Structure 1
């Protein structure tokens, strides 16, 4: 069995747990050290249980506490060479992630996925264990053919629905930030998330976790309605991840 939990999702911090048997991975750590220790404890995980930390890119809501957590507990920290350039301290356990190479950590296979985002060598991930595929896909501004292909056959998909285009246009952000968020290297809108869902194998998909939603430029019900409309007549559950506590553990099985 493979299971997934979110420690929190949004512009103030992101972190996800992937677990299969005795292997537990932390994907991103956009919270301070004490905060992430507390969030891990709520999920019944101690830092010493972590087999590895994987960081998608250098933005603070994904990287913030990762180097400190890795150093304090001697946890291998996997990040691309581009991401590692932004470490604010030495990390002796850093492992250079090649975005074009697959890795095996204990019972979990890790497939990095290159994505268009305004970061240095960003990656997202698909995880495999016991025939189950879990896809994490946030922080990209456009859906490429490569992304469609890699995420086509997932059993669980954690998918960014960052903004509603009209709310972003009418919202409080300065024009330059609106252009960044809504651009090809920014973040996915509800409609772009639907575009991806329309390309996946829905017969395999059992769960969609809506993630990285903007507090200023989106509405939870708008995002849920868009995703559910793309999955009409499909046996797929939809869950909104929260900034405060993400979500509890979810078991993922093959359909």
Structure 2
């Protein structure tokens, strides 16, 4: 079993999970052309994908999903709420081979078991995913604003974990207005409403919250821990690693940070 990333951050997300000959993509937050380019950089084609799993309807996770699924006839999995929320956004999932997933109800892709996990996020019916294959457990956990007992239990025992470390609260409080949201003039600080959204219970995990989760997990079991979805404005790798190193004191070579531009290369789970 192994994993890789096409990129991670507010401009687009995509995580590859490979189990034997089975290859799936979790989220497709880049345009179709950019997704194809990033796959090619890893020596892959979209024709290699057996399935596309979507976590929720926000653009940085779903931007190219419908187009990819239609072009390559790739089965597309999401909750009903996500599919409904995507309706009307360009072509949405219309024309794709869409298949419903239900949070908490496992399903099989070849001989890999997939568990959709309900998370608190400001989307219609968001979920994250855990993958089981030959006694190995891989967790993908991004885009949630708070830790629930359900989330902790779902990700407590993993051999590899892709974990959101979105922001540092102090940087968020003083953060600049993001260039992507500028309209007229020279930008300025984040609007208070955006700060409340990002830092709220339905927003994104802070570095401290991610470290708290790890305090409840069997970190000795982790072969790989990837810090993901870092805000370009409100976080830095040093801030994220500083908190995570407090929770994972030994084996820090297992920890890496996913980048927006390059994601991360293949990591093998033994």
Structure 1 residue matching 2:193: 3-state secondary structure: helix
Q: Please state how far the C-alpha of 1:106 moved relative to its aligned partner.
A: 1.3
What is residue 250 of structure 1 aligned with on the other side? 267
Checking the alignment, whether the CA contact within 8 Å between 2:24 and 2:53 is kept in structure 1 is yes
2:146 equivalent among 142, 149, 152: 142
- With 234-243 and 57-66 compared, the bigger mean Cα shift is at 234-243
What is residue 54 of structure 2 aligned with on the other side? 55
Give yes or no for the alignment of 1:241 onto 2:258.
Answer: yes
What is residue 11 of structure 2 aligned with on the other side? 12
Seen in structure 2, the aligned counterparts of structure 1 residues 219 and 92 have a Cα distance that, compared at 3 Å, is closer
Give yes or no for the alignment of 1:174 onto 2:173.
Answer: no
Q: Please state how far the C-alpha of 1:22 moved relative to its aligned partner.
A: 1.2
What is residue 100 of structure 2 aligned with on the other side? 96
What is the CA–CA distance in structure 1 between the aligned matches of 2:125 and 2:268, rounded to whole Å?
Answer: 31
Seen in structure 2, the aligned counterparts of structure 1 residues 112 and 252 have a Cα distance that, compared at 3 Å, is same
Q: Please state how far the C-alpha of 1:92 moved relative to its aligned partner.
A: 3.3
What is residue 115 of structure 2 aligned with on the other side? 111
Checking the alignment, whether the CA contact within 8 Å between 1:4 and 1:249 is kept in structure 2 is yes
What is the CA–CA distance in structure 2 between the aligned matches of 1:229 and 1:43, rounded to whole Å?
Answer: 33
Q: Over residues 105-134 of structure 1, what are the superposed CA-to-partner deviations in whole Å (9 max), with x where a residue is unaligned? A: 013211000000000100000111111101
What is residue 81 of structure 1 aligned with on the other side? 80
Q: Please state how far the C-alpha of 1:52 moved relative to its aligned partner.
A: 0.3
Structure 2 residue matching 1:208: 3-state secondary structure: strand
Unaligned runs of 5+ in 2: 177-189
Q: Please state how far the C-alpha of 1:70 moved relative to its aligned partner.
A: 0.2
Structure 1 residue matching 2:219: 3-state secondary structure: coil
Q: Please state how far the C-alpha of 1:234 moved relative to its aligned partner.
A: 4.3
Q: Please state how far the C-alpha of 1:91 moved relative to its aligned partner.
A: 3.0
What is residue 160 of structure 2 aligned with on the other side? 156
Moved over 3 A (4+): none
